[in-house]
Amino acid sequence: MAYPMDVLTDDEVVVVHKHPHIKALIGPGLVLLVVTALAAWGLLWSTGDTVADSTATVVGVAAGVVWLAAFAWFVVKFVSWRTTHFVITDKRVMFRQGVITRSGIDIPVLRINSVQFRHGLIDRILRTGTLIVESASDDPLEFDDIPRVEQVHALLYARLDDRLDDDDDRGPAPR
């Protein structure tokens, strides 16, 4: 899903648009895979000659309900992942998430004091991590599971440096 361009100002340009890293779907995907295998095994077992019809019906219904719950959980996680946006423009950093209830935050690039990243061994292998943005008056904001976090960190810092250089070129503010 592309980021809705109608929230941008006329002269604003998207520099980075990312969803959280795909690792957010590994757990739900594995659960769905295991539940599918167990449900298939249960259905196969219940169709055997030694199993009573009532038992086969109970096992079939239970397998279907458990599989449907696992599938629904995976779909909810997938839709949530797909509708979470981390966007850097030439003027601001935006984070949007949610399906029914949406929430978001915008940080003007000029209000950013520092940009940091953090990632452990698994995150380094998967090339993801947490981006930490500290703005002028707020507590630091942490954005988890940002793909290629080191590149995003460097790009955001370069954006911040460019914006600060632009302000220096204008000279002192008029009084």
pLDDT digits (tens, 9 = 90+) for 44-86: 888 877 778 888 888 889 999 999 999 999 999 999 999 999 9
- Give the separation between CA 117 and CA 140, rounded to whole angstroms: 12
- Give the separation between CA 167 and CA 79, rounded to whole angstroms: 40
Instruction: Inform me whether the pLDDT recorded for 174 exceeds 50.
Output: no
Do the beta carbons of residue 15 and residue 88 sit within 8 Å?
yes
Fold of 88-169: PH-domain like (2.30.29)
Q: Percent of the chain having pLDDT more than 90? A: 43
Q: Which residue has the tokens 């080191």?
A: 150
Q: For residue range 88-140, list pLDDT tens digits in order.
A: 888 888 999 988 888 988 888 888 888 899 999 999 999 999 999 988 766 88
- Give the separation between CA 59 and CA 76, rounded to whole angstroms: 26
pTM more than 0.85: no
